[in-house]
């Protein structure tokens, strides 16, 4: 089992199309009274999407499939409103970006990045008028899948992983004080846990953001995991791999991830979107 830093990956994909089995699931956790997480499963061809606790097989042919996890902050109501406003605007903005491409092949990375920036501006503008300018923001990790390609955008510390051939690969970079100190070669253990986990940016929380983009090529049997920090802060990479390797249905794997997070204390809301890449079966 390997656990590596984010980087682009390029692999040869088998002939034939790919599709995605998607299992979204969210849980309030054991210590919170309200769920400030939100998530999005948006097939851009207009087909239906599975709700939390359901599993659906979706096309990732052009125009593609958008997935997102948002972890709101700002307390009850503030966090819920921020994450909900974020995913609602992201859905609207990505449709706008893809529509603007017209008959041209869209630049997926640019489309997703611009959609996230536009979403941030909408949430920031809303936050300025909400509850006397009380702090409001949300993380956002989004994956736009089209054909055999996935573009991942991140603001904050929700994560995206790729699980392939027994290897768990972190596709995102936590935008926290602790990670910033680590990149500078400084020892993050010299500051408190609260300071280490403090976000350096969030959607809607400051005037400008820097969207971190990562691109991957997809293969059949890949698993993609998008999750809020309620999972990755309490379940180690090894613990994630133990569950992802189980030979059980995809929906049960998503449930096991939530259960493990709660078994390890469940200090926060937990949201996962688990995706299995499949080869489209040829018509007989």
Structural domain of 15: 3-279
The pLDDT > 70 percentage for the chain reads 89
In a domain? residue 202? yes
Which among 90, 95, 108 has a CA at the least distance from the CA of 147? 108
Return the number of other C-beta atoms located less than 10 Å from residue 109's C-beta: 17
Is 47 within a domain? yes
Residue 73 forms part of a structural domain: yes
Residue 28 in any domain: the answer is yes
Give the pLDDT score at 83: 97
Q: What is the pTM of this model?
A: 0.91
pLDDT tier for residue 102 given thresholds of 50, 70 and 90: low
106-138 pLDDT, tens digit each: 799 999 999 999 999 999 999 888 766 567 899
- Give dist(CA 81, CA 93) in Å, integer: 18
DSSP code string of 11-70? -PPPSS-EEEEEEEEEE--SS-SS--EEEEEEETTS-----TT--EEEE-STT-EEEEEE
Q: What is the pLDDT of residue 184?
A: 86
The Cα–Cα gap between 135 and 199 comes to 13
Supply 2's token pair: 């390997």
Q: How many independent structural domains does the chain possess? A: 1
> For position 177, which CATH number holds?
3.60.40.10
Residue 284 belongs to some domain of the structure: no
User: What is the rounded distance in angstroms from the CA atom of residue 273 to the CA atom of residue 258?
Assistant: 11
The residue assigned the tokens 């087909």 is 47
Of the candidates 95, 100, 101, 103, the one whose C-alpha atom is nearest the C-alpha of residue 119 is 95
Report the alpha-carbon distance of residue 205 to residue 200 in Å, rounded.
10
Residue 234 lies in a domain: yes
pLDDT digits (tens, 9 = 90+) for 72-100: 997 756 899 999 999 999 999 999 998 87
As a whole number of angstroms, the distance between CA 151 and CA 9 comes to: 11
Q: Rounded distance, CA 71 to CA 43, Å?
A: 21
Residue range 174-233, pLDDT digits in tens: 999 998 998 888 887 888 888 988 999 999 999 999 999 999 999 999 999 999 999 999
39-53, 187-201, 216-230, 250-264: range with lowest mean pLDDT: 187-201
Structural domain contains residue 163: yes
């Amino acid at each position: 089992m390997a656990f590596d830093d984010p980087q682009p990956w390029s692999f040869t994909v088998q002939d034939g199309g790919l599709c995605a089995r998607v299992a979204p699931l969210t849980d309030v956790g054991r210590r919170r009274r309200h769920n400030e997480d939100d998530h999005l499963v948006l097939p851009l061809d207009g087909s239906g999407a599975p709700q939390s606790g359901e599993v659906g097989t979706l096309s990732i042919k052009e125009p593609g499939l958008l997935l997102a996890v948002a972890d709101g902050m700002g307390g009850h109501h503030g966090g819920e409103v921020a994450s909900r406003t974020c995913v609602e605007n992201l859905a609207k903005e990505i449709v706008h970006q893809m529509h603007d491409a017209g008959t041209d092949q869209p630049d997926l990375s640019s489309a997703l990045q611009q959609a996230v920036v536009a979403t941030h501006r909408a949430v920031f503008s809303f936050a300025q008028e909400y509850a006397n300018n009380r702090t409001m923001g949300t993380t956002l990790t989004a994956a736009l899948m089209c054909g055999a390609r996935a573009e991942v955008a991140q603001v904050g510390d929700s994560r995206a992983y790729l699980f392939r051939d027994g290897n768990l690969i972190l596709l995102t970079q936590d935008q926290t004080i602790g990670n910033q100190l680590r990149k500078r070669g400084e020892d993050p253990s010299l500051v408190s846990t609260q300071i280490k986990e403090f976000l350096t940016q969030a959607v809607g929380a400051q005037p400008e953001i820097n969207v971190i983009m990562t691109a991957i090529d997809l293969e059949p049997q890949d698993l993609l995991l998008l999750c809020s920090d309620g999972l990755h802060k309490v379940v180690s990479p090894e613990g994630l791999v133990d569950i992802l390797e189980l030979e059980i249905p995809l929906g049960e794997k998503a449930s096991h991830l939530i259960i493990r997070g709660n078994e390890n204390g469940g200090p926060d809301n937990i949201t996962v979107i688990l995706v299995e890449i499949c080869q489209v079966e040829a018509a007989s």
